[in-house]
Structure 1
């Protein structure tokens, strides 16, 4: 499938109907294997995940033991990718392979080699016909056209005073309903999305340029506790 321009893609993503995703969910429900469920970071057992190839769109390749993802403009022919109901079909999205159902968790992402991406969290059973940020079951921070934004329910909110750091953090507080973008160097919270978190969620990533590298197994920084 041909890759649209950045501007055209933003228009497509902003205009995509949540109703169409709900209809698709009724036709093809996503059944996700249970896996580990992280409930606390206080004991020293910090969230550790890899990217889940079963969910990766056919334009995405995983590398460095599935902690990194690279975007291939042409990608693989979808017919050459193993059929899997967990795989994203229309958008270049991949999930982490762990589910979070309680507690406070933190991970970082090296973003210096990409000019267009989204990162945050999404419900493990999110509709695979939609893109992260365009429905009420995903909460992400994106970068495109040299600008940051927060996005959920198909609404973009500009995020200022970020620049283009080499690495950023994501803080997720399940009970408080918080997904936050973190300045990994300070550390400090740059912007917060309020979320109604009820069902298990996964780290979520969208990528349309370059590559991302994830860093998990990290303690919540002292300044954010």
Structure 2
């Protein structure tokens, strides 16, 4: 074989090898990408790991979101309502904010850390509850509240005292949608200290009210072992 033809043959063969390698690499990446996408979808659909942020569109003008919208701070003066985008989703009269995820099935657990606050509420509310109401004052929201150094459960404007909660700075919320149960969890003792029974008919959002200090949410958590038998 002439030298020129041999040289051309070698170059062509090397190019073919590079093309085959590139095609194999691309196929592997696509396959890995599909696998990762499927994994993300599987994780997202896990009924025990609801992951949410606070929805700024629903936040009252006295509430300021922080830490990538997982926390909220109460501002005494708040924002000038005229400087806040008016949306149908925003709470108008009460310092309330909803999460950006809707729950319509399954069992879910999240926690709340509160700092420098003497009055707050945490629980769930129907996604389309009236923005003129406060969480706990209507039949479309179910919350646990803290005020005057005492805990209470509240729905439809009825308050029931709750004891044995422990420290007010961090608590857990456990929701079983199908069973119609909402539990307040003492994290230190890993114990459900109070249960609200309801009949959930429409999608729910984690809901929060805050009248001083700051509140930080922790979602995407595993349900602590031992709670399943309590709720």
Q: TM-score per shorter chain, which class? A: 0.7 to 0.9
Matches within 5 A, 1:135-174: 135-174=138-177
1:41 paired with 2:44, answer no
| Greater fraction of residues in helix | 2
TM-score normalised to structure 2 length: 0.78
* Equivalent in 98, 103, 108 of residue 106 of structure 2: 103
Distance 1:71 1:190, change over 3 A: same
Q: In 2, Cα distance between the equivalents of 1:130 and 1:165?
A: 25
Instruction: Tell me the CA shift for residue 184 of structure 1.
Output: 1.5
Matches within 5 A, 1:199-218: 199-218=202-221
RMSD: 1.3
Q: In 2, Cα distance between the equivalents of 1:114 and 1:199?
A: 31
Match of 1:4 in 2: none
Conserved 8 A contact 1:118-1:141 = yes
SS of residue paired to 1:224: coil
* Equivalent in 113, 118, 131 of residue 115 of structure 1: 118
Instruction: Tell me the CA shift for residue 77 of structure 1.
Output: 1.1
Larger relative contact order (CA 8 Å, sep ≥ 6)? 1
Q: In 1, Cα distance between the equivalents of 2:95 and 2:141?
A: 15
* Equivalent in 122, 129, 133 of residue 132 of structure 2: 129
Query: How many residues are matched?
Result: 185
| Post-superposition CA distance 1:135-169 (Å, at most 9, x none) | 11100000011111000011000111224332100
Instruction: Tell me the CA shift for residue 39 of structure 1.
Output: 6.5
* Equivalent in 185, 189, 193 of residue 192 of structure 2: 189
Conserved 8 A contact 1:110-1:167 = yes
Matches within 5 A, 1:17-96: 40-41=46-47, 46-96=49-99
Match of 1:30 in 2: none
Q: In 2, Cα distance between the equivalents of 1:163 and 1:184?
A: 8
Conserved 8 A contact 1:40-1:102 = no
Conserved 8 A contact 2:47-2:105 = no
Instruction: Tell me the CA shift for residue 222 of structure 1.
Output: 1.3
SS of residue paired to 1:100: coil
Q: In 2, Cα distance between the equivalents of 1:128 and 1:63?
A: 22
TM-score normalised to structure 1 length: 0.80
Instruction: Tell me the CA shift for residue 102 of structure 1.
Output: 0.2
Q: Which runs of 5+ in 2 are unaligned?
A: 1-43
Q: Deviating runs (4+, > 6 A) in structure 1?
A: none
